[in-house]
Every structure is written in structure tokens, then in C-alpha cells.
Amino acid sequence: MTQRLLALLALTFFAAVGGAQTDEGLSDPALNARYQALIREVRCLVCQNQTIADSNADLASDLRREIREMIESGATDNEISDFLVARYGDFVLYRPPMQPNTWALWGGPAAMVIIGLVVFARVMRTRSRQPLDEDEFHEDQGAI
């Protein structure tokens, strides 16, 4: 049983690391590093929870080809992401830009943590001021 579970686990692991593109890449190592980083930042709109690096969709391979060609012709990373955003919108980027309509997205988690801490501090403060009631007192005594 354990062995079977382990085998299953191993399978899911391999499924997770296997990417789509194996045949492609740029011969220049520096350019290839940029290419590999870029395609991991671009969403495949056909299968929206994959990057174009992970996706086997036809469109993803077209976009990878487009990006390779742009890199080879000397485009900067910014030019490439501008190119993609102009055609597909901000959603194509896995790292959305900081702009008025994404403030909630970027600031949300921090705001939640701050709200949580404030609530926590208030609760702790009121609790520490209240005297222990009888039952709790005896329970504590018992534990010691």
C-alpha cells in the first residue's frame, strides 16, 4: 500500500516538472536565459492557468516563436511585454503591472494582514484586562 502511494506520488511529481517545450531555445546562453525567464511570465490564454512555457497549446508555441524572434532581433524584455499587452491585455502577464485598477490586488494581502493584526491586538488587550472567571481559575490551578 505504502509503495503504491509512493509510486503515485512519484508520478504526480514527474507530471509537475515536465514542461511543454523541449525542442526550442536560443543558441546564445544569455539570450536563452532571458527567453526562458520571459516565457515563464506569460500566460497562455487558451489554458489560463499555465504559462506559455508549460503549455502545449498551438497558440503558446506561436507566442514562444514570436518571443524568440523578437529577442533575436534585439527587442528588450519591456518591449516584448508591451507587445503582448497591446494584443492580449494585462491578463497575459502573470505579474500584473502596478496601476490604479490593480492597487487592490497588490495592496489587498498587506491590508488583510494589517486588519488581522489590529483585530488581534484589540482582542488581546481587552482579554488581558478581564479578570479570569472562577472556572478558568480552577482549571489553571489543576493544570499546575
Binding site residues, another protein, CB under 8 A: 45-46, 48, 58-59, 62-63, 66, 85-89, 91, 115, 119
What is the nearest approach in angstroms of another protein to the Cβ of residue 45?
A: 4
d(CA 128, CA 131): 8
What is the nearest approach in angstroms of another protein to the Cβ of residue 16?
A: 22
Query: Which of residues 98 and 119 has its CB atom nearest to another protein in the complex?
Result: 119
Query: Which of residues 33 and 116 has its CB atom nearest to another protein in the complex?
Result: 116
Query: Which of residues 11 and 118 has its CB atom nearest to another protein in the complex?
Result: 118
Contact (Cβ atoms closer than 8 angstroms) between residue 39 and residue 50: no
Report CA-CA distances (Å) from 84 to 1, 67, 77, 138, 139: 49, 9, 11, 67, 64
* Closest CA relative to residue 28, chosen from 74, 61, 80: 74
Place of cell 505504502: 2
List 93's β-bridge partners, or say none.
42
Query: Which of residues 36 and 88 has its CB atom nearest to another protein in the complex?
Result: 88
What is the nearest approach in angstroms of another protein to the Cβ of residue 28?
A: 23
What is the nearest approach in angstroms of another protein to the Cβ of residue 29?
A: 27
